[in-house]
Amino acid sequence: MLRNLLWATSKHDVYLMQNYSVMHWSSLLRRGKEVLNVAKPIVPTLKYPGCLAQPLSRVQISTMTVNDNLMVAGGFQGELICKYINQPGVAFCTKISTDENAITNAVDIYHSPSGSKRVMTANNDSQVRVFDAVNFACLSRFTFPWSVNNTSVSPDGKLLAVLGDSPECLIADAQSGKVLSNLKGHLDYSFASAWHPNGQIFATGNQDTTCRLWDIRNLSESFAVLKGRMGAIRAIRFSSDGRFMAMTEPADFVHIFDAESDYARGQEIDLFGEIAGISFSPDSEALFIGVADRTYGSLLEFNRKHYDHQYLNCMF
């Protein structure tokens, strides 16, 4: 199951999975470079008394994220890998869960209200773990009643959306893990969430082929329901300027919605193959789509056309 295996750190820098390698693609140089090979043994460079780091080998990456020079990846056997992009080797890696079905479903990098950088993981063992992003010590863990498929932290670092093998989505306190609200409306399991940059709106993606939009000021019901075409909503992203929201199905379809039209106006990108991830560039000028199909595997770049505010102009 492919989840979020592509991230853009600028309009010209994209990180994506290719077989057992994390690759950096430069759209300026039209050239790719291997950043990390997870087929080989991985030995963490960070060592201190009590450090839980341990060597790993032949990791199958399930999810990844890149933020501010830090790349974090999760594996199908409960692995966590943390690497600074500008430094050789891997700073920290370990198995955070030894459960038989311990897949790391989602990883997130965020800042706490105090400004400290944190790494969050969501796992099939029903736990959410929070790590310090300097020494990678586990600071806290929150347990939920079902496998956690996705988490996302609000822009101010105070609220946490928790989704998993349940029709209900939860809003929790990001510091304590205490559940503050239960969101009802979806009909099946949930897989994706994202916060609008304003911190008031967030979106949830579900196996019922819908994305629901919620206003944190009134969580009694969602204020919009956006339909996919065929499959579950697997990934959701807002552009950094808050103007657009993109969501992807497991294969073939990416949908873009205009937030300024209350999500009434949209654009559908119809492609061919399994979708490995989507990412807006930080300047909101480009949308990247990873296609993981064995035959049609590719990285697609769509540039923003300002006269009609749509993402068009496909470049392979």
pLDDT in tens, the chain (316 residues): 556 899 999 999 999 998 889 999 998 888 899 999 999 999 999 888 778 889 999 999 999 999 989 999 999 999 999 999 999 999 999 999 888 788 999 999 999 999 999 999 999 999 999 999 999 999 999 999 999 999 999 999 999 999 999 999 999 999 999 999 999 999 999 999 999 999 999 999 999 999 999 999 999 999 999 999 999 999 999 999 999 999 999 999 999 999 989 999 989 999 988 999 999 999 999 999 999 877 777 899 999 887 655 655 443 2
CB-based contact 3:73 (threshold 8 Å): no
Instruction: Return the closest-CA partner of residue 191 out of 225, 224, 148.
Output: 148
Instruction: Give the integer Cα–Cα distance in Å for 301 and 63.
Output: 21
AA identity, residue 191: F
pTM, two decimals, is 0.92
Residue in the structure block whose two tokens are 């969101």: 183
| Cα Rg, the chain, nearest whole Å | 18
Tokens for 55?
Answer: 């060597």
Instruction: Give the integer Cα–Cα distance in Å for 66 and 269.
Output: 25
